[in-house]
Structure 1
Amino acid sequence: MCSAPKQGQKLPAGVDVEKETVITGQVLGADGSPVGGAYVRLLDGTGEFTAEVVSSGTGDFRFFAAPGTWTLRALSSQGNGEATISPDGTGIFDQDVTIAS
Structure 2
Amino acid sequence: MTQGCAAPAQTAHLPATVDLAREAVIQGTVVRGDVPVAGAYARLLDSTGEFTGEVVTSDEGIFRFFAAPGDWTIRVLAPGGVSIDSSITAAIGEVAAVEVAI
Shorter-chain TM-score category? Answer: 0.7 to 0.9
Q: Name the structure where strand makes up a greater proportion of residues.
A: 2
Decide whether the 8 Å contact of 2:25 with 2:91 is kept in 1: no
For the aligned residues, what is the CA RMSD?
1.4
Within a 5 Å distance, the mapping from 1:46-65 to structure 2 comes to 46-65=48-67
Runs of 4+ in 1 over 4 A off after TM superposition: none
Change (3 A) 1:21 1:88: closer
SS of 2:35's equivalent in the other structure is: coil
Q: Which amino acid aligns with 2:46?
A: D
What is the deviation of 1:88?
3.6
Task: Give the TM-score of the pair, scaled to structure 2.
Answer: 0.81
Task: Give the TM-score of the pair, scaled to structure 1.
Answer: 0.82
Q: Which amino acid aligns with 2:73?
A: T
Does the alignment pair 1:15 with 2:18?
yes
Within a 5 Å distance, the mapping from 1:1-101 to structure 2 comes to 9-29=12-32, 31-78=33-80, 79-99=82-102
- What is the CA–CA distance in structure 1 between the aligned matches of 2:62 and 2:54, rounded to whole Å? 13
% identity of equivalent residues: 48
For the pair shown, the structure with the greater C-alpha radius of gyration is 1
How many residue pairs get aligned? The number is: 91
Structure 2 gaps, min length 5: 1-10
